[in-house]
A and B are shown apart, each in its own frame.
Chain A
Amino acid sequence: MTSSLKIAALALTAGIFTALPFAASAQTVAKSADPAIVDAYVKATFGKAPAEWQERIVPDETLKTCNAYHNNVPSAEADKIVKRELAKVVYPADGKFLGDWKEGRKVANNGRGGQFSDPPDTVAGGNCYACHQLEKSEVSFGTLGPSLTNYGKDRKYAPDEIKNAYTKIYDSQAVFACSNMPRFGANKVLNEQQIKDLVALLFDPDSPVNK
Chain B
Amino acid sequence: MGGWPTYRVSQGALRTMQHRLWDCYRQQRWPVPEYASDALTALTVFLQKQAAGGELNVPSIKR
Q: Which residues of B contact A50 (CB under 8 A)?
A: 31
Q: Which residues of B contact A54 (CB under 8 A)?
A: 31
Nearest A residue to B40 via CB reads: A45
Q: Which residues of A contact B26 (CB under 8 A)?
A: 115-117
Interface flag for B37 (CB, 8 Å): yes
Q: How many whole Å from B15's CB to the nearest CB in chain A?
A: 15
Interface flag for A57 (CB, 8 Å): yes
Nearest A residue to B42 via CB reads: A41
Q: Is there an interface contact between A53 and B31, defined as CB atoms closer than 8 Å?
A: yes
Q: Which residues of B contact A48 (CB under 8 A)?
A: 32, 34
Q: How many whole Å from B11's CB to the nearest CB in chain A?
A: 12
Residues of B within 8 Å of A, CB-based: how many? 13
Complex Cα gap A114–B26 (Å): 9
Assuming the contacts A41-B42, A44-B38, asked whether A115 and B31 have C-beta atoms less than 8 A apart, the reply is: no
Q: Which residues of A contact B38 (CB under 8 A)?
A: 40-41, 44-45
Q: Is there an interface contact between A45 and B33, defined as CB atoms closer than 8 Å?
A: yes
Interface flag for B39 (CB, 8 Å): yes
Query: B15-55, CB under 8 A of A: which get 1 and which 0?
Result: 00000000000110111111001111010000000000000
Interface flag for A46 (CB, 8 Å): yes
Interface flag for A56 (CB, 8 Å): yes
Q: Is there an interface contact between A45 and B29, defined as CB atoms closer than 8 Å?
A: no
Complex Cα gap A192–B29 (Å): 21
Q: Which residues of B contact A57 (CB under 8 A)?
A: 30-31
Complex Cα gap A157–B31 (Å): 40
Interface flag for A49 (CB, 8 Å): yes
Nearest A residue to B43 via CB reads: A45
Q: Is there an interface contact between B39 and A45, defined as CB atoms closer than 8 Å?
A: yes
Assuming the contacts A115-B26, A116-B26, A117-B26, asked whether A44 and B31 have C-beta atoms less than 8 A apart, the reply is: no
Complex Cα gap A46–B29 (Å): 12
Complex Cα gap A165–B23 (Å): 30
Q: How many whole Å from A145's CB to the nearest CB in chain B?
A: 16
Q: How many whole Å from B22's CB to the nearest CB in chain A?
A: 10
Binding site for A on B (CB under 8 A): 26-27, 29-34, 37-40, 42
Complex A-B, nearest 3 residue pairs according to Cβ-Cβ distance, in ascending order: A49-B31, A53-B31, A45-B39
Given A53-B30, A115-B26, 12 more pairs with CB closer than 8 A: A41-B39, A41-B42, A44-B34, A44-B37, A44-B39, A45-B39, A46-B30, A48-B34, A49-B31, A54-B31, A116-B26, A117-B26
A-B contacts, 10 listed (Cβ < 8 Å)? A45-B33, A45-B38, A45-B39, A45-B40, A46-B33, A48-B32, A48-B34, A53-B31, A116-B30, A116-B32
